[in-house]
Chains A and B, each alone.
Chain A
Amino acid sequence: MNNNSGENMKPVIFVENLTKVFGKFTAVNSISFEVNKGEIFGFLGANGAGKTTAMKMLCGLLKPTSGRGSVAGFDITREPERVKANIGYMSQRFSLYDDLRVWENFRLFGGIYGLKEREISQTTERMLHELGFTQERNTMVKSLPAGWKQKLAFSVAIIHNPGIVFLDEPTGGVDPKARRQFWELIYDAAERGITIFVTTHYMDEAEYCSRVSIMKDGAIDALDTPANLKLKYGAKSMDEVFYQLANSKR
C-alpha cells in the first residue's frame, strides 16, 4: 500500500469530541481523529455504529450536537457550504438522476460545482474514457447495471477535483469483479492527491486502506494502520480484528 506515514503530512480532516444526539439516542459519542492529506482512511463499524451519521456531519449534511471539526480547512459547523465546495460525496444509496443520461449527470454536477462549459466537456470525455463508458454516454442512468452506477457515482463525486472524497459503503451490493474495479478507481484518485474517506463492511477492502478506524456504539474503539491493528489484536486478518472488537465489552 502507498503508506503515507511520512512526516510532511497535515490533517485535512480534524475532528474533536464530535457528538450527535437524536432525541435520547446518541448516534455519535464524542469522537476525535485526524485524517492526513492523501490517505485512504477506512471508517469501519457494524451497522448502526454511527458511521453514516459521523460522515454526514463532516459533509455538512447534519449539524453536530456538540464538538467541532474541520474539513479541508473549513469549520463544519460555521462554514458548511465552504466545506461542500471542497469535497466530493457518494451516498450509501445511489443518488444520481435516473432520468438523466450519463453525460447529463456529469454536466449537471460539473455545472453546479461551477465548472466552465469547456471544462465540463473535457472532464466528461476523460472520465467516460477512464471508466470505459464511452459507449454509454447517452444511456439513461436508470438502465445501467448496479456496479456501473457505483463507478459513475464516484466519478461524478470527483468531477470538480475535490481535496477529499467521502464514500459511504460505495461497494455495497456489487459483485467482486466490480468491487475490484471500483478500488482501482479509488487508488487512481488517491494517486492524484485526493484524500479518500471510505466506509465499508468488506474487511478485504479494509486491508487496502492506509489507516482504519473501527466504530462501535457511536465511539471509535480502534484507530491505526491495518498492519498495526492485526499486530495489536494478534489477528491474521482484519476480519478477525473486527470480530474481536465487535464481541468485546459485552
Chain B
Amino acid sequence: MFRFLLEKEFKQIARNRFLPKLILVYPVVMMILMPWAANLDVKDIRLCVVDNDNSTYSRRLTQKASGSEYFKEAIYLESYNEAISTIERGECDIILEIPSDFEKDLVNGVNRELSISSNAVDGMRGSIAASYLAGVVNDFSAELIESKIVNRGSSAAITAAMPSSIEIVSLSKYNPSMDYKLFMVPGLIVIIITIIGGFLPALNIVSEKEAGTIEQINVTPVRKITFIFSKLIPYWVIGFIILTNTLILAKLLYGIVPVGSIFEFYLLSFLFLIVVSGLGLVISNNSRTMQQAMFVMFFFMLVMILLSGLFTPVSSMPIWAQVINSINPMKYFTEIMRMVFLKGSGLADLYKHIFIMFGFAGAFSLWAVLSYRKNS
C-alpha cells in the first residue's frame, strides 16, 4: 500500500510545473545573493569633520580617518551646527569635532578633548562607527607618542576614553577574520531547509482538500500513518538534495566547508527536516484552504526565524524570549549548524542537541499522524 502512495507523491511533485524548479533554483539564488546582501559589516561610514584648529596635527588626524577602509572621504564643515544638520538630512553618519588650539595645547602638554557624535537612529551602525573613529584617534595618539612629538601626558589625554597604556586586542576564535559570510552561510542553510521543507508539506494535504481528492483517500481503508509518511518522505528526499546542493555551493562560491564531519551535518539536518516537514503537515491537516495554511505557516516561520539567533544572538534576548526559545527547534538547529560549520564540534559536544532534535522529530511526526482525520 505504502509503495503505491509514495510513487504517486513523487510523480505529482515531478509533474508540477513549479516545484522542481523551485527546489533547484531557490537554494542556488539564496546561496549566491544572500551572503553578500545580508551583511552586518559596517563600511563606507560618512564622516563629517568640524576642524576648529586647522593645524598640521588636526589635518593629519582627519586624513588618517578618511584614509581608513571604514570611512568615506570626509566632508569638512565650519560649525558643529552645520554638521548636525547634515546628520538630520541623512547625509552623514558621524561627526568629529576638533577644538581650537588643539595643536598648541598638544605641544604644550595640555589635555584636550575631541568630540565624536554619531547618528544612533541605527544604533548598531552608530556605535560601531563611533568605536572605529575612537580607534583611529587612539592610533593617532600612539603614533604621536612613538614619534615623541608630544610628551606622554598630553597624548593620553586625546585618546578617546581609553587609556593608552592598556591595549585591548580581541581575537575571534573559530572565525578569526570575522568573515560575515562564514557566519551567514550555515544560517542560510537553516533558512533554505526550513522554507522548502516546511512550506511545501504545509501546502500539500490542504491542496488535496481543495481538489477534493482527499475524500477518495479518506474513504479507503488506508492507515493514517501510511498516508502521512507517504507525504513526509518525498520532502525528506528533496531536503537531502537541497542540503547536498547548498554544501557544494558553499564550497564552490565561498570556499566554506564544515569544520565538523559531513556525517553530523547530514544526520542533524535530517532530524531538523523531520521536524519542519512534520510541522508543515500539522498545519496542513488543520487548515481548510491553502491560503490559511500559508499564513499560519508564515506566522510560525517568522517567529521561529527571528528568535532562532540567526540574526541577533539568543543570549542577549530577554529571559522570557529565551524561555520561549527553548521550544524553538530552529534555535537548536542554528546552534548546531554553526557548531558543526565553524567549531567542528564532535558528537560528544553535540549529544544534548542530538537528543533534543530526536525528541522534536518524534513529537512532530506523531503530531502530524494524529492531526490527520479520516472522518469528521
A: which residues have CB within 8 A of B?
A: 59-63, 80-82, 84-85, 87, 89, 91, 93-100, 104, 107-114
Q: List 19 A-B contacts (CB under 8 A).
A: A60-B219, A61-B219, A61-B374, A62-B375, A82-B221, A91-B215, A93-B215, A95-B212, A95-B215, A95-B216, A97-B12, A97-B213, A99-B16, A104-B11, A108-B4, A109-B220, A111-B5, A112-B1, A114-B1
Task: Report which of B3, B214, B219, B374 forms a contact with A111, defined as CB distance below 8 A.
Answer: B3
A112 surroundings in chain B (CB, below 8 A): 1, 4-5, 217, 220-222
Is B211 interfacial (CB 8 A cutoff)? yes
B: which residues have CB within 8 A of A?
A: 1, 3-5, 7-8, 11-12, 15-16, 211-222, 374-376
Task: Report which of A61, A63, A113 forms a contact with B215, defined as CB distance below 8 A.
Answer: A61
**Chain A to chain B: the 3 pairs with minimum beta-carbon distance, closest first:** A111-B4, A85-B221, A89-B219
Task: Report which of A80, A85, A95, A110 forms a contact with B375, defined as CB distance below 8 A.
Answer: A80
B222 surroundings in chain A (CB, below 8 A): 112
Smallest CB gap from B222: residue in A: A112
Within the complex, the shortest CB–CB distance from B60 to chain A, in Å, comes to 73
Number of A-B contacts (CB under 8 A): 76
For the complex, give the distance between the alpha carbons of A87 and B222 in Å.
13
For the complex, give the distance between the alpha carbons of A179 and B7 in Å.
33
A85 surroundings in chain B (CB, below 8 A): 221
A113 surroundings in chain B (CB, below 8 A): 220-221
Do the beta carbons of B213 and A96 come within 8 Å of each other?
yes
Known: A60-B219, A111-B4, A112-B221. 5 other contacts (CB 8 A): A61-B215, A87-B219, A97-B12, A109-B220, A112-B217
For the complex, give the distance between the alpha carbons of A160 and B360 in Å.
39
Do the beta carbons of B12 and A91 come within 8 Å of each other?
no
Do the beta carbons of B212 and A61 come within 8 Å of each other?
no
Do the beta carbons of B219 and A63 come within 8 Å of each other?
no
Do the beta carbons of B212 and A60 come within 8 Å of each other?
no
A104 surroundings in chain B (CB, below 8 A): 8, 11
Do the beta carbons of B215 and A100 come within 8 Å of each other?
no
B1 surroundings in chain A (CB, below 8 A): 111-112, 114
A91 surroundings in chain B (CB, below 8 A): 212, 215-216, 219
Which of B5, B212, B214 has the most chain A CB within a 10 Å cutoff?
A: B212
